[in-house]
Structure 1
Amino acid sequence: MFVDELARFAAGVADARVTTIAETAAAPLRVEVRGRRGVGCSTVARALNRAGIAHGIRAAEVQGEFHPDADVLVYVVAEVVKPEDSAAVAAISTRHPVLVVLNKADLAGFAGEGPVAAARARCAEFAGLLGAPVEPMIGLLAALDDSDDAWAAVRELAAESPVPVEGRRRLLNFFDLFGTALALAAVGRGYSPAQLRALLRQVSCVDAVVAKINALAAELRYRRVLDAVAALEALAVCESGSEDRLGERIGQFLTHDDTVLSRLADAADLVDVAGLAARPQAGLVADGPDEHLSRAARWQRYSVDCSVSDVHRACAADIARGSLRLWSRAVGASR
């Protein structure tokens, strides 16, 4: 990703202005979590923070007015969609990307393929009602901490050992009924604590929610790339001819192969999410010269199409530029 290349460059030049540009580009996504009382907003926020940290996501439950600096809004429902949910989603979707999370997906019923499958079917129905994407989640399982007492109690129950009533209550508070049944079955099959945690996280569907948040924020992240490049170009002009050669070093960074190809990769991600065309990244580096040149020509034509947005034109230009760089490499390697 471009932000990774920029972070390495900033560390090398040790200039406060470049560092600020890099930190702004790589700032975590600000995700606001809200919903009706009792649907589990705090649990969902805690789960997203735990699972999203590796993806640059910072979530917080928010009550009252929406913060104007939020990047993505997660609206939580449970079991049903009420009129107040529809009104809230309609109001916020005009200002921010919105993802609706159907929390407590384990309560969707055990018919057919199980509660998660039933919840997914319900999500499709809710998406039609709300006009926004809906993803299922079992927030309690995704937000689990590493309580040794709880894991020990699961092992004792699985071994049919007597567990005090208070211990059973704590276990249900920790895992809930569905999670407890799942944990007992897994431990009975010899799962280690690490394997059990991985299973519970998978069943919680939190990773799919994180992926959807990333998809909704793809254009915002790409705009950050464009803003960072513009800021670096302006700084390079101001520092041209300086003793530390900062302007020259910025120019070299912006035209370096790794930088150009990282922008190609970021642009390809946005193309995929926006559904502009067939994803150009599959087999990208392994393609031959003809494929690289054909891709460059196709996206260059798209980049001058006045009917598309400025962001999408910039995206197409990055793909064309990166493809030409790959073409040049491939031609050089074949000689």
Structure 2
Amino acid sequence: MGLRVSVEGRPGVGRRTIEAALRRRGVQVVPAAPDVRVLVVAEALKPEDVRDDATVVVQTKADLTDATCGIRVVGLLAVLDRLTDDEVDALRVLIRHPADMTSVDAFVSGAHPLGRDVRQHLLERLDRFGIAHAVLALADGADPAAVAARLTALSNIDAVLAAVRAASAPVRYRRIAESRCSSEVLDDAAVLDRMSAAVDVVEAAGVAVDRGDRPQDHRRRALHWARYSRGPVTDLHRACAADIVRGSLVLLDGAEP
């Protein structure tokens, strides 16, 4: 996405795992001076931890059902490539012989046909959350590749990427606006580029934008956002609205009669 993202967090919360998961998905992770800050927490979040709107909070340890802060992510599943044959065989044993999943200690220490070391390995690879869902998927007839794909989806890493994109929208908009500010007259391509960045900003804030491509759509969009800019909105959204109006008028001018 062309942006700089830092991944921060206290020791033991899974920061390196989240960092690896983001890198695998093409995110540029940097140690300092980021555009967006990803803060990894395990349980409690202190008010001072969130500095601004460019902070995305990621909560690991998905089995902590009483924790409510941030995007819930299972870091181990976010970096899962595939399941080995031995892991699949072990999970199939759990279908036939359910284990005590009430706690980590109960799962590892309880009497079970699977050896303790095998159960410990499954925990290290999948966590209790992943084990439970993998067993259900295999029991439903999913093949190993489909199970791995389902576990990756359940990791919720896609929600983190979406949140990073949303948090980065104002950064991208300001960069484009600053890169064009030296020119007194913007060409159509520059106007539309700024409009696209402005749309990302307002949509990231939950405001819908009509993306219709007919002349009447462009005209209606220009009128709507002109009214929006005169309302009780932030300076950022007022500037974005003006760019959406300008872009809509350019599109209207170039539309087929």
If the length of structure 2 is used for normalisation, what is the TM-score? Answer: 0.76
1:58 aligns with 2:22: no
For the Cα contact (< 8 Å) 2:77–2:152, is it kept in 1?
Answer: yes
- Alignment-derived partner of residue 297 in structure 1: 223
- Normalized per residue, the structure richer in helix is 1
1:177 aligns with 2:94: no
- Alignment-derived partner of residue 22 in structure 1: none
- Give me the whole-angstrom Cα distance separating, in 2, the residues matched to 1:47 and 1:189: 28
Structure 2 vs 1, CA of residues 294 and 98 (structure 1 numbering), >3 Å: closer, same or farther?
same
For 1:80-104, what per-residue CA distance to the aligned partner results, in whole angstroms no more than 9, with x for missing partners? 31xxx41541xx515x622222211
For residue 264 of structure 1, report the CA deviation from its aligned partner: 2.3
- Alignment-derived partner of residue 110 in structure 2: none
- Alignment-derived partner of residue 137 in structure 2: 186
1:317 aligns with 2:242: yes
Correspondences of 1:1-335 after superposition (within 5 Å): 27-35=2-10, 37-51=11-25, 53=26, 57-59=27-29, 67=32, 69-78=33-42, 80-81=43-44, 85-86=45-46, 88-89=48-49, 93=51, 97-108=54-65, 122-123=67-68, 126=69, 134-146=70-82, 150-160=83-93, 166-230=117-181, 233=183, 254-256=187-189, 260-275=191-206, 278-280=207-209, 282-285=210-213, 288-300=214-226, 308-309=234-235, 311-330=236-255, 332=256, 334=257
- Give me the whole-angstrom Cα distance separating, in 2, the residues matched to 1:268 and 1:199: 32
For residue 159 of structure 1, report the CA deviation from its aligned partner: 4.4
- Give me the whole-angstrom Cα distance separating, in 1, the residues matched to 2:212 and 2:23: 33
- Give me the whole-angstrom Cα distance separating, in 2, the residues matched to 1:103 and 1:186: 22
- Give me the whole-angstrom Cα distance separating, in 2, the residues matched to 1:208 and 1:255: 34
For residue 152 of structure 1, report the CA deviation from its aligned partner: 1.0
Structure 2 vs 1, CA of residues 308 and 159 (structure 1 numbering), >3 Å: closer, same or farther?
closer
Q: Secondary structure at the match of 1:312?
A: helix
Aligned positions, number: 239
Q: Secondary structure at the match of 2:247?
A: helix
Q: Secondary structure at the match of 2:71?
A: strand
If the length of structure 1 is used for normalisation, what is the TM-score? Answer: 0.60
- Give me the whole-angstrom Cα distance separating, in 2, the residues matched to 1:169 and 1:152: 17
Structure 2 vs 1, CA of residues 191 and 103 (structure 1 numbering), >3 Å: closer, same or farther?
same
Runs of 5+ unmatched residues, structure 1: 1-25, 109-118, 127-133, 238-250
For residue 182 of structure 1, report the CA deviation from its aligned partner: 1.7
- Give me the whole-angstrom Cα distance separating, in 2, the residues matched to 1:273 and 1:159: 42
Runs of 5+ unmatched residues, structure 2: 97-112
Amino acid at match of 2:34: A
Amino acid at match of 1:205: N
For the Cα contact (< 8 Å) 2:88–2:144, is it kept in 1?
Answer: no
Amino acid at match of 2:85: A
For 1:197-252, what per-residue CA distance to the aligned partner results, in whole angstroms no more than 9, with x for missing partners? 22112211111122112212210111122123336x49xx9xxxxxxxxxxxxx7x
Q: Secondary structure at the match of 1:157?
A: helix
Mean alpha-carbon deviation: is it higher for 217-226 or for 288-297? Answer: 288-297
- Give me the whole-angstrom Cα distance separating, in 1, the residues matched to 2:238 and 2:4: 24
For residue 262 of structure 1, report the CA deviation from its aligned partner: 4.1
What is the CA RMSD across the aligned residues, in angstroms? 3.2
For the Cα contact (< 8 Å) 1:43–1:140, is it kept in 2?
Answer: yes
- Give me the whole-angstrom Cα distance separating, in 2, the residues matched to 1:43 and 1:320: 43
